[in-house]
Amino acid sequence: MKTAADTFDVMKIREDFPILHREVHRKPLVYLDNAATTQKPRQVIDAVSAYYSEINSNIHRGVHYLSEKATHAYEEARKTVQHFINAPSPEEIIFVRGTTEGINLVASSYGRQNIGEGDEIIVSAMEHHSNIVPWQMLCEEKKAKLCVIPINDEGEIIFEEFEKMLGKRTKLIAVTHVSNAIGTVNEIKKITAMAQQAGVPVLVDGAQAVPHLKTDVQNLGCDFYVFSGHKIYGPTGIGVLYGRRKLLERMPPWQGGGDMILSVTFDKTVFNALPYKFEAGTPHIAGATGLAAALDYVSRTGLEKISGHEQQLLSYATEKLLLLKGLRIIGTAKHKAAVVSFVIEGIHPHDIGTLADREGVAIRTGHHCAQPVMERFHVPATSRASFAFYNTTGEIDVLVSALEKIIHLFS
């Protein structure tokens, strides 16, 4: 029987990514830092370049030809996003700078409006700092309380603890779909089902999920879903906030300016409808068109094939890495995305990162903007290899042999 991965031609995909053919320190680049940001296919680079060389103009303002073209491209991009995550309507797609900005938007607008003294916001112990700090700031301002769902030794949410926490005072749950630090894929449907019973909205940080898993916000049952373009082969500086229309409509704008208003006098300003109410100022039009090109690329390739290939890389890497002396993997959840965080006894992650770099291998070392996760596993930092659909088992071999050399050097 043919599996999805059999029909997946990774070499053909690599041809589309110009940067994968460059060298670093006179060695072929092995890019394994995809959780930080992904590389861009020619199709995305071309879309951005075509936008600037052919239709660059401001949107929703001019009646001239270019402005209409640019407006059309921008709004088509919104629809591409809508279909990609199966949102009910394009008005529920708000373009932002990235995940961080999307979460801050919800914290400033929904949060300030709906969270008060003594209320509780629940996050998990595996959140990225961008899904912790905005809520901490809000809690401080409103004298509300931030509650943290603990995770077990494998790096999975402890649902019994979550259930205990969920109560009358809970006003919002903000959790990541996939952990950037340890790769855990969270059971979002289980969380939203419990939250719904308690009548609490759920924000999902999808930064690490959309590039790897087929995402359907209606099926997930979440109220807000946020992700960054640059982590799914699109440009930096563009991201998406999906929100349920009912919630978005009731939320106040968070930034004031052009595009977000219907009319302005010094007595009264009338805010624009969704999604423009939340898009003050000239947006990243080129970024939106680039993001749409990226999502088209992923859709054409097929997320099932992508995740099939990435899961193969994950098991191959896990198996090979565990053969190395003194290596321990942090994060061993049953359901993981293609992220391997590890420590090697007696060698600091930063030394590993610097030495691997000399072999052309780009991995991330440090706390991965998730210091509470490092604390949970009692390590100051880890090294992290994170894979994308253009990575190969051959590249994992290069990583492993670089690590062998490093272990030898330090022995």
Partner 1 sequence: MSEASELYQQVILDHNKNPRNYGDLPSHTHSSEGYNPLCGDHYHVYLIMDGDTIKDIHFAGTGCAISKASASVMTTLLKGKTRAQAEDLFKQFHDLVTSPVEQTPDEDALGKLAVFAGVREYPSRVKCASLAWHTMKAAVDKNGQAVSTE
Catalytic residues: 369
Q: Least distance (Å) from partner 1 to the CB of residue 23?
A: 13
Would you call 339 helix, strand, or coil by DSSP? strand
**Residue among 310, 377, 312 at smallest CA distance from 341:** 377
Residue of 34, 38, 82, 100 interacting with ligand PLP (CB under 6 A)? 100
**Secondary structure letter of residue 184 according to DSSP:** B
**Residue among 218, 163, 216, 220 at smallest CA distance from 194:** 163
354, interface contact from ligand PLP, partner 1, none, CB < 5-8 Å by kind: partner 1
CA–CA gap between residue 44 and residue 40 (Å, rounded): 6
Whichever of 359 and 395 has its CB closer to partner 1, that residue is: 359
In whole angstroms, how far apart are CA 289 and each of 77, 108, 215, 235, 239?
A: 6, 27, 20, 9, 12
Q: Is 124 in the site for ligand PLP (CB under 6 A)?
A: no
Residue ranges in contact with partner 1 by CB under 8 A: 25, 347-351, 354-355, 358-359, 365-367, 374, 380-381, 405-406, 409-410
Whichever of 228 and 272 has its CB closer to ligand PLP, that residue is: 228
42, interface contact from ligand PLP, partner 1, none, CB < 5-8 Å by kind: none
Binding piece for ligand PLP, criterion CB under 6 A, among 5-13, 126-134, 167-175, 275-283: 126-134
CA–CA gap between residue 375 and residue 197 (Å, rounded): 32
Whichever of 277 and 384 has its CB closer to ligand PLP, that residue is: 384
Q: Please report, for the chain, how many H helices and E strands are present, in that order.
A: 15, 17
The answer to whether the beta carbons of residues 123 and 139 sit under 8 Å apart is no
244, interface contact from partner 1, ligand PLP, none, CB < 5-8 Å by kind: none
Q: Least distance (Å) from partner 1 to the CB of residue 326?
A: 14
Whichever of 22 and 250 has its CB closer to partner 1, that residue is: 22
193, interface contact from partner 1, ligand PLP, none, CB < 5-8 Å by kind: none
Q: Is 176 in the site for ligand PLP (CB under 6 A)?
A: yes
Residue of 41, 98, 331, 360 interacting with ligand PLP (CB under 6 A)? 98
Binding piece for ligand PLP, criterion CB under 6 A, among 10-18, 164-172, 205-213, 319-327: 205-213
| DSSP line for 144-162 | -EEEEE-B-TTS-B-HHHH
Angle at 244 between CA 240 and CA 247, to 5 degrees: 110
205, interface contact from ligand PLP, partner 1, none, CB < 5-8 Å by kind: ligand PLP
The answer to whether the beta carbons of residues 382 and 340 sit under 8 Å apart is no
Neighbours of 45 (CB within 10 A): 17
Residue of 207, 232, 396, 406 interacting with ligand PLP (CB under 6 A)? 207
CA–CA gap between residue 84 and residue 210 (Å, rounded): 9
Q: Where are the alpha helices (DSSP H) in 184-255?
A: 188-198, 217-220, 245-250
381, interface contact from ligand PLP, partner 1, none, CB < 5-8 Å by kind: partner 1
Contacts with ligand PLP by CB under 6 A lie at 35, 98-100, 128, 130-131, 176, 180, 205, 207-208, 228, 369
